[in-house]
Structure 1
Amino acid sequence: MKPVVIYTTPICGFCHAAKRLLDGKGVAYEEIDVMRDSEKKQEMMQKAGRHTVPQIFIDGAHVGGCDDLYELERAGKLDPMLAA
């Protein structure tokens, strides 16, 4: 599987929903908590161009937030993106 990075905060329901989808697929991911790390939040905003969480990257490509991730799943595009 391609590497997945997800920027989150512990109090974000959308973050938990995105992680549930990835967990359900058995996807390993690197989780970066931006709540207490302003440098990581700046990094996320620079990479994603957004300030909301979650922000999800697959193989370095920004795929968006939780709604975007679920839309990829509904469209049958998520599994091919994750495949090595």
Structure 2
Amino acid sequence: MNPTQSDNAGQPEIVMYTSATCPYCVAAKNFLASKGQKWREVRIDLDPAERERMVARAKRTSVPQIFIGEEHVGGYDDMIAMHRDGRLEALLELGA
């Protein structure tokens, strides 16, 4: 299965706004894949309307911007900080 297809049964959907040239986007995808997670990738470099939606939703212009369910996790560094604090895993399990 394509890892960008979000099908984490019973778990909140993960949405990641990305661009093709973003090394932090690659790092975020690799981290989520290492945790066995699936996500829906939204490429803002291919669709200006998606970029506008991301900025309206996240109040940030940088990528990646990661959402788990309705919660805005932030970027890669924010996600790793949540993981180190034990908050990321709890958020991923909310739908279970």
- Which TM-score tier does this pair reach, normalised by the shorter chain? over 0.9
* Higher percent of residues as helix: 1
> Whole-Å Cα distance in 1 between the matches of residues 33 and 25 of structure 2?
12
Instruction: Find the counterpart in structure 2 of residue 61 from structure 1.
Output: 71
CA-CA distance at 1:17 after TM superposition: 0.6
Between 1 and 2, higher relative CO (CA 8 Å, sep ≥ 6) is seen in 1
Partner SS state of residue 61, structure 2: coil
d(CA) in 1 for partners of 2:87, 2:32: 14
C-alpha distance in 2 between matches for 1:23 and 1:60: 20
Give the TM-score of the pair, scaled to structure 1: 0.96
Match of 2:4 in 1: none
Superposition RMSD in Å: 0.7
Structure 2 CA distance, aligned partners of 1:30 and 1:63?
15
**CA-CA distance at 1:36 after TM superposition:** 1.6
Shift of 1:2: 1.2
Point out 4+ residue stretches in structure 1 off by more than 3 angstroms. Answer: none
What is the TM-score with the length of structure 2 in the denominator? Answer: 0.85
Are 1:74 and 2:51 an aligned pair?
no
Q: Which has the larger Rg?
A: 2
Identity %: 38
Alignment partners' CA distance in 2, 1:15 and 1:28? 14
- SS of the residue corresponding to residue 38 of structure 2 reads coil
- Gap regions ≥5 residues in structure 2: 1-10
2:19 corresponds to 1:2: no
* Match for residue 12 of structure 1 among 22, 26, 48: 22
- 3-state secondary structure, aligned to 2:46: coil
